[in-house]
Every structure is written in structure tokens, then in C-alpha cells.
Amino acid sequence: MSHLAESFLERIKQSLNAIDGDDPAQKETTDKIWHFTSMDGFLGILEKHCFYATNLGYMNDHSELVTGHRHVVGLLLNKLKRHSVSGEVLEHLYKKHIEHWRAPEFNAFATCFCLLAVQLSQWRGYGKGVAVGFNRRGLEKISLPGLSLNRMWYVDVEDEDLKKYSPDAVISGALEQSFQGEDGPELQKANGDVWSSILDGVLDLLKFRCKHGGFVEEYEWRLLYRRPTIGPALPIEFRARSGMIVPFVKIGEGDNILSLIDWVSIGPMSDLDAFLVKQSLEMIKERYGLNFEISRSGIPFRSLSQRHENS
């Protein structure tokens, strides 16, 4: 990698760290993030002492990675055009990274969390389940090479506050510093191969944090495991789900993730069912030696299956 590429990517990292550090969602309200799951899923976490991280190709957003790739490439091309980078370079980047690009084999796995426990869309998906509040600082300390915990960015949204903490802001900051700094003249003259190397590095840093704007209400955080192709790696396992065979890896084995459970919120259900679930949760606390708070969702949602149960 050329010194220009290394220097630019270092500025991307600095811009990324600065934006994350200034993001109020990172600093204030997120000592606890929520994992919505079914009762079976919650019991699985308790019994296996780990998370099942699903392969990104099997997430509910079928455009995973494609969205991030195309958005980041489009951003950089537009901004390079404004900095008067040559049309030949822009055409080279477009052909390689858009026209001739094909979605790669997915070798990344994730467990998903939400910023808030009050998420009707999540309760619709999980029905009579629970939202498990995990200590975010503790999750960041799980010792596993290739693992990171980050807030997701939503692309093509109109919310100005969200735009402040996004790949747009990261790339803009790095470009301004680079073109105004000592590397500016060289970057202006750099050929397509140099910029392609830079773009590959930018994509590697940013594409995994991008999601389609249609999912913005989730305010998602993601525990992402990028499985190395060479050297030690978590074994891939498989489970059946919704008529599919879904690859996953187990994250957190040996890291005592149960101690990171601070809260369990019971999903919308009848008063009697909620009472019984609470009793079970109290027994679970005693059985596993845990000390989490128990609450109940205040959303008055009744699923179709619950309506059938009551009819």
C-alpha cells in the first residue's frame, strides 16, 4: 500500500474515532443496549453462555453489505469529483467498484442489539419474548480477535442529526484534511490504482456499519465478528430457521456474558402470562446467580397469535 493510501486511511480512522467520540448516542444513553429475542433464544443464551451470531447473508436486511458498499463508493466518487480529481480516475473507480463489482462471499457474523427497549417493530417480530439489556462496556471487552461493537449507520435518511454521525461525515472530514494537507498535491495527481487501494481500505473500515434507511427505527448496535480466512477462527455451525439452513458462530463462550445482563424486559402479553414469566425470571436469577432487574413493556400490543389464544 502506498504512503498516500496509508496516510489517507489513518485520517479516516481519526475522523471515525472523532465522530464516534462526539456522538451522544455513544456517550450518554447506551451503557445498556437491548437484545430482543424469543423465550427459546433467551434460554439458549443462559444455557450455552454465548450469543449465536448469524452470517450477514442471512439477516432480515437482504441488502447487507451491498448497501454499505454502494453507498460508500458513491460518497467517495461524488466528493472526489468536487475536489476536481480527474475524470479518468473516477471512471476507473466506477468500473472496478460499481460496474464490475459483485457481492462477496459473506464471511462476517453478527448479533444485533437496539438502543431502546421500547420497540414495537421488535415485539411484532418476537411476539411473546423478552428484551435483554446488556452492559455495553462489558460487551466491548469480550476478548476475541476480529470482534467489534459499533452503532450502525443508516444511509439515505433525511434526519440531520443522524447525518452528523455517518460515513458521509467520516469521509468528508478525511478528504478535507488530506487535500488541504501536505499530501494534497500528490492526491490530486494520484492515478486510479492508488485511489482504488484507498477505496478498498475505506470500504473495509465503513461498509459493515451501514444499513438501509428503512431500518432506522431500530437504532441498531451490532456485535460483529469478521472471520479470518487464514489462522484460528471460530467454527461455523448451522441451524434451521424459517425454512433455511443458517450459518452462525458462537460468540462469548468463556467470557461470562451472563454477568453482563443488567435488565430483562418482558414483552407485551396478558397480565397472567407476564406474572408467570416474571416468576420464572426470578427463579432463573437464583439458578444462575444473576442480579438483573425485571420490567414489563408498557406497549399495549397484542399479536395475532395472542388474539387467537384469547378467542
Please write the tens of the pLDDT for every residue from 40-54. 999 999 999 999 999
Q: Which three cell numbers stand for residue 286?
A: 437464583
CA distance 98 to 78: 13
- From residue 247, give the alpha-carbon distance in Å to each of 106, 155, 162, 273, 307: 10, 27, 32, 33, 34
| Total-model pTM | 0.86
CA distance 168 to 75: 7
pLDDT at 217 over 70: yes
Amino acid at 244: M
Residues above pLDDT 70, as percent of the chain? 91
Measured in Å, how far apart are the chain's first and last C-alpha atoms? Answer: 66
pLDDT band at 18 (very low <50, low <70, confident <90, very high): confident
Spacing of C-alpha 58 from chain mean position: 14
Q: Is 160 helix (H, G, I), strand (E, B) or coil?
A: helix
Amino acid at 5: A
pLDDT band at 289 (very low <50, low <70, confident <90, very high): very high
pLDDT greater at residue 58 or residue 307: 58
CA distance 263 to 270: 20
CA distance 134 to 229: 30
From 281, 311, 289, select the one nearest 129 (Cα to Cα).
281
